[in-house]
Structure 1
Amino acid sequence: MPKREEAVIQGKRERALKLQRLQVRRENLLILAVSTFIANVSFGMAFPYLGVYMRLLGASMFLVGLLSVAFNLTSTVFQYPFGWLSDSTGNRKGFIAFGTASIGVFYAAMAFVGSATGVLVLRTLQGVFGSAMAPAHLALISELSTRAGSIFGLFNSIENAGYMAGNFLGSFVVRYLGIKSVFAIASFLLFLSAGLVLLIKERPNGGRSLLDVIRGDRKSWRTTAKGSAFKKLMHGSLGLFYVTVFLVMIASGQFYSVSSVYFEETFGEWSVGVIFGIESLAAALTGYFLGRLIDIYGAKRFYLLAIAGYGLVFFLYAFVENVWLIFGVAFLSGVKWVLMINSTSAYVAQNVKASERGQGMSLLNAMMSLGWVVGPLIGGYLAGISFRLNFVSTLIPLGSAFLLALRLPEKLR
């Protein structure tokens, strides 16, 4: 065959393969988007009512705060191992499905417990097994596009649209079916989401199978562990970045661990789902747009803006007592959240190589979870004295995070 004809045939084959890969990527994007939306409907239904449910079961405010501490402590411990396994095996969808289904199992069990202690135990176990989901989920999203800000913006809009729908649906379910029904329905939706994720087609990347990793002898485990990216990721400017995330999440944990109880006592039970729903609506409407801006102007400046937004929102929540004005604060709160998650995810995606991205994302989530270990302890104690004192005191870790974040480079060398 003449060389010219060979070149033409080879070119056609390469174009066909490129189109095939593009089609698979689009299908994966669609499946992951639908699965993500359904999972977040579930989270939006169940999470806002965990604190309220604990109070109905006779828990003190300190125990309500401990609910978040227990979940986020176990999540902090297990995030990195699951992220490392996801990188080692190259299996993103398996860990997403396992983590999502695990959360569903424990929500289902919550619908049948009759004590605050039982809910606390289940929430703790939820943190252990559910932590398999987030690192693999964020890593898979980052692999769907080279434009980190835009792809995270898109998925954060999807997540918050689902969460918003869950918030409003949760309010309806609580009113007409009772609070336990929220956890049962949320569980079903999570099982559905996990099943959809398994339809994603992943390309083999040379990673070891999970069974091979588990069966590896002690020497191979030590060798693999030494090859992990933990020390490198926690060193220098990237390590400083993770510290700032931890400080922001201390403030977040202070506020959100007790906020549902505050809203219920101040504005009525109906307001809980509505306020959280408005936050999610704002995040859904602005997520993709803000992600595009992050791609253009860089993640750092939007991260600084997010930290400042946290301080403003928590200060306003402390002093605004009119429910209609609170809805405006809730909208602003949703914008600051999507700024936070878009900018931090994009910063990690842009500064961590693909083979270590599961670990990089797991550390991001671990710092968030660790902040939610410390924050609720502070929030549970201070809220017992005064909700306003608790909300205003969040300005201390937020101010510290802002000053440290000013030192971060836009991109690491």
Structure 2
Amino acid sequence: MRRVVDRIIAPFAVDRRVLALAGARMADGIGNSFLIIVIPLYVTSGIVSGTAFGLGESMITGVILSIFGFLNSSFQPFTGRLSDRLGRRKPFILVGLAGLAVMNVAYVFAETYATLLLIRGLQGISVAFIIPSSVALVNELATTGNRGGNMGVYNTFRLVGFGAGPAVAGAVVSYGPYAILGEVVIDGFDAAFYIAAITAALSYGLVTVLVSDPESTAANAGADLSIPVLDRSGSNLLDPIFTLGVASFFMATAIALFATIQPQVNARLEQGATWFGLQFAAFIIAQVVLQTPIGRACDRYGRRPFIVAGMVLLIPTTLAQGFIMSSGLMFVARLFQGVAAAMVFAPSLALVGDLAGEGESGSKLSILTMAFGYGIAVGPLSSGALVGFGFRVPFIFGTALAVVGAILVYTQVEETLETTASVPGVGSD
């Protein structure tokens, strides 16, 4: 059996625990990304009632989607630091997955805006337990010489799940109701929520059986967990980890502008929910294809060139979405925006992993994951507020953020690979 498992793992060239964790994140990613498509449709379906707090449908949808990111990101530094203090990763991941599964089932009983806000918020807190601990575990199972590749494989699997969800979520809702065993009938929305819950439960099982903490995590618990803003070396103004956090926030905001304004996009391009799902998934498709090769390439050629190039590419690919009038061209724009993000994400995680000391992975890497989560929250909220001033305005706003992010990365972040590779014993597998 071990030989069979090793043959499966061999092409990925990663620790089997990294691959198992990646598979678990792929499963829960399918369910979680379902909701990005399903919730806006659910809000406008007529099922949801009660006070909308004086907000229009686009704005209340943005708030519901965004509260997940705000709470998720706000709690990540605390869960990341606590996992560093305790020297444990797996228990945090399991707590988060359990909470995610329970909240996915709770959507079946949600019929008011307030209830949707509460459930989505609790999901955000649950995922805050998962993300820092998962990324820290991948970092601790890697070395400088293969860290980018490990991050790439992890993100590839996670994004396969995240991309698969939107591609089929609209169809699951549209083709309902469904007869289960010929007796029980559930509508399309409930089917989507149950699928999301099942995927989270599957992830819980995979982590329970196949993932374990490395011994070094507990041995190095309790290191210095402070996060400086200014560069302590004096070579730049800002600390590189903080800078990458800001750039990740800007990037995620620009990426997430698309999610909230589904009705406006569909009306402008004269398309249906299926096209929108494909356009949303195009971003993920590019990352799925490129995360692993880019991660491995940055282990060989350096982290910084990929990060800078990705931030620069983000500028035109974001701006174009505000001017496109074709469904096919919107798909292409989202595809190349995904290329830009793929060039930034895995190399950034690898660079921060290079800089993190023993026992600091949860705290240091949570800066990037927290910033990215805040961006995913701010993006939908921003587009929901700005689209009233014109369809192009949200994308012009995102482009401006991408420009600032590119400048910050180019001026404030230096290469780490050549420095660490010169240290004896570092950079080898």
Seen in structure 2, the aligned counterparts of structure 1 residues 323 and 145 have a Cα distance that, compared at 3 Å, is same
In 2, Cα distance between equivalents of 1:296 and 1:162: 28
Seen in structure 2, the aligned counterparts of structure 1 residues 92 and 85 have a Cα distance that, compared at 3 Å, is same
How many residues of Structure 1 are paired with residues of Structure 2 in the alignment? 375
**1:250 counterpart = 2:260:** no
Seen in structure 2, the aligned counterparts of structure 1 residues 26 and 400 have a Cα distance that, compared at 3 Å, is closer
> C-alpha deviations, 1:76-117, integer Å up to 9, x for none?
221011101211222212211221221222122112211222
**1:85 counterpart = 2:82:** yes
Counterparts of 1:220-369 in structure 2, within 5 Å, are 228-232=224-228, 236-253=239-256, 255-265=257-267, 266=269, 267-369=271-373
In 1, Cα distance between equivalents of 2:329 and 2:112: 36
Seen in structure 2, the aligned counterparts of structure 1 residues 338 and 388 have a Cα distance that, compared at 3 Å, is same
Aligned residue for 2:227, secondary structure, equals helix
Aligned to 1:195: 205
User: Which blocks of at least 5 consecutive residues in structure 1 are unaligned?
Assistant: 1-18, 214-223
| Counterpart AA for 1:244 | A
Give the superposition deviation at 1:150.
0.9
Seen in structure 2, the aligned counterparts of structure 1 residues 111 and 339 have a Cα distance that, compared at 3 Å, is farther
Aligned to 2:26: 37
In 1, Cα distance between equivalents of 2:338 and 2:168: 18
Q: TM-score, normalised by structure 2?
A: 0.80
Q: TM-score, normalised by structure 1?
A: 0.83
Seen in structure 2, the aligned counterparts of structure 1 residues 165 and 242 have a Cα distance that, compared at 3 Å, is closer
**1:393 counterpart = 2:403:** no
Aligned residue for 2:372, secondary structure, equals helix
Give the superposition deviation at 1:234.
6.8
In 2, Cα distance between equivalents of 1:69 and 1:162: 20
Q: Percent identity?
A: 24
- Which has the larger helix fraction? 1
Seen in structure 2, the aligned counterparts of structure 1 residues 231 and 151 have a Cα distance that, compared at 3 Å, is closer
Q: Which moved more, 1:376-385 or 1:114-123?
A: 376-385
Aligned to 1:112: 109
Aligned residue for 2:215, secondary structure, equals coil
Aligned to 1:134: 131
Aligned to 1:410: 415
Give the superposition deviation at 1:168.
2.7
Find 1:67's aligned residue among 49, 64, 67. Answer: 64
- When the two chains are superposed, the root-mean-square deviation of aligned CA atoms in Å is 2.6
Give the superposition deviation at 1:201.
2.9
Aligned to 2:424: none
Find 2:215's aligned residue among 196, 204, 211. Answer: 204
In 2, Cα distance between equivalents of 1:306 and 1:284: 15
Aligned to 1:163: 162
In 1, Cα distance between equivalents of 2:308 and 2:42: 35
Aligned to 2:422: none
Seen in structure 2, the aligned counterparts of structure 1 residues 28 and 352 have a Cα distance that, compared at 3 Å, is same
> C-alpha deviations, 1:260-290, integer Å up to 9, x for none?
3444434212223222233322221222111
In 2, Cα distance between equivalents of 1:206 and 1:364: 20
Give the superposition deviation at 1:409.
1.2
In 2, Cα distance between equivalents of 1:142 and 1:405: 22
Seen in structure 2, the aligned counterparts of structure 1 residues 228 and 66 have a Cα distance that, compared at 3 Å, is farther
User: Which blocks of at least 5 consecutive residues in structure 2 are unaligned?
Assistant: 1-5, 50-55, 177-187, 232-238, 420-429
Contact 2:262 2:276 in 1 (8 A): yes
Aligned to 1:54: 43
In 2, Cα distance between equivalents of 1:328 and 1:165: 18
Higher radius of gyration, 1 or 2: 1
| Counterpart AA for 2:205 | G
Seen in structure 2, the aligned counterparts of structure 1 residues 103 and 292 have a Cα distance that, compared at 3 Å, is same
In 2, Cα distance between equivalents of 1:360 and 1:263: 37
Seen in structure 2, the aligned counterparts of structure 1 residues 49 and 299 have a Cα distance that, compared at 3 Å, is farther
In 2, Cα distance between equivalents of 1:262 and 1:299: 38
Seen in structure 2, the aligned counterparts of structure 1 residues 108 and 295 have a Cα distance that, compared at 3 Å, is same
